């Protein structure tokens, strides 16, 4: 059975990834700050798929030492880790310079330093194994700089995408390391992160539908994917190439 580790797995996209990967036969290592929700998810998965191994760990990804320790515990428990999904993140934010810097800093620390810590620990394991699949969850917001409450969030997700691309560049043509790096750019997928947003979001899909597209891309081992493909594949191209005033209207 393949083994997948997912951070930020207590709710939203991470929890649904766990459900769908369990259905595909994956054993799971699930990490998040809220272990009560993880325990409920494990019971749900065991009820649906009694043969699945589901291991849980409490983890705050902003604690670099804890990330290394937890990933190492998963490796020791499962023997081999086939995939690590860097999913944990925050979506807090406020317009820059409006006196609410704390929300922006919290998002930046979690999404940038937390993602870096996870990538470091994952790649250390994969280099030792000489194989593995690192999945970095970015966002369609990473395509361009965005205004107001999402300025910091978009910038952090651009960091995640560039970190993943740098690793892919390094690994290209390697004869010794069979390591795949996938960057996923989710569009508007209903999750706990955005369920408080009052403004209607265009092209929003439900969690199950959105995650199904994410899991399909993971399983194919693609370099990168905008998910769901419609409308985000063409919209991503538009966002990268249209003048900034037009992009601002799209968002």
Predicted local confidence at residue 198, as pLDDT: 57
Both tokens of 201, joined, read: 């979001």
With cut-offs at 50, 70 and 90, classify the pLDDT of residue 196: low
Both tokens of 220, joined, read: 């194919």
Sign of the torsion angle spanned by Cα atoms 117, 74, 139, 130: positive
HSE-CB at 83 with a 13 A cutoff on CA atoms is: 25
Measured CA to CA in angstroms, residue 147 lies from 98, 111, 164, 204 at distances of: 13, 18, 24, 20
Query: What CATH number belongs to 3-250?
Result: 3.40.50.720
Predicted local confidence at residue 62, as pLDDT: 97
How much is the average pLDDT of 75-99?
97
188 is catalytic: no
Do 57 and 70 contact (CB within 8 A), yes or no? Answer: yes
Percentage above 70 pLDDT, the chain: 95
Torsion angle, alpha carbons of 83, 87, 88, 90, to 10: 170
Catalytic pick from 49, 153, 185, 188? 153
Rounded to whole angstroms, how far apart are CA atoms 104 and 97? 10
How much is the average pLDDT of 223-250?
90
Angle at 122 between CA 117 and CA 126, to 5 degrees: 150
pTM of the model: 0.94
């Amino acid at each position: 059975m393949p083994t997948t580790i997912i951070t930020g797995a207590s709710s939203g996209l991470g929890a649904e990834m766990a459900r769908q990967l369990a259905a595909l036969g994956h054993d799971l290592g699930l990490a998040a700050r809220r272990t009560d929700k993880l325990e409920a998810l494990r019971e749900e998965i065991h009820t649906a798929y009694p043969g699945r191994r589901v291991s849980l760990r409490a983890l705050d990804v902003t604690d670099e030492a804890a990330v290394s320790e937890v990933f190492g515990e998963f490796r020791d428990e499962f023997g081999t880790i086939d995939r690590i999904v860097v999913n944990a993140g925050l979506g807090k934010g406020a317009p820059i310079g409006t006196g609410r810097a704390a929300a922006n800093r919290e998002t930046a620390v979690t999404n940038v330093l937390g993602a870096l810590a996870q990538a470091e620990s994952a790649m250390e394991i994969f280099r030792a194994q000489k194989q593995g699949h690192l999945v970095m969850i970015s966002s369609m917001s990473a395509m361009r700089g965005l205004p107001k409450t999402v300025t910091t969030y978009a910038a952090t997700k651009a960091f995640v995408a560039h970190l993943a691309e740098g690793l892919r560049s390094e690994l290209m043509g390697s004869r010794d390391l069979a390591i795949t790096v996938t960057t996923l750019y989710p569009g508007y997928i209903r999750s706990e992160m955005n369920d408080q947003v009052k403004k209607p979001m265009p092209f929003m899909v439900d969690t199950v539908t959105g995650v199904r597209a994410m899991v399909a891309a993971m399983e194919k081992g693609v370099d990168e994917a905008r998910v769901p493909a419609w409308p985000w594949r063409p919209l991503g191209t538009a966002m990268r190439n249209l003048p900034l005033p037009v992009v601002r209207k799209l968002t």
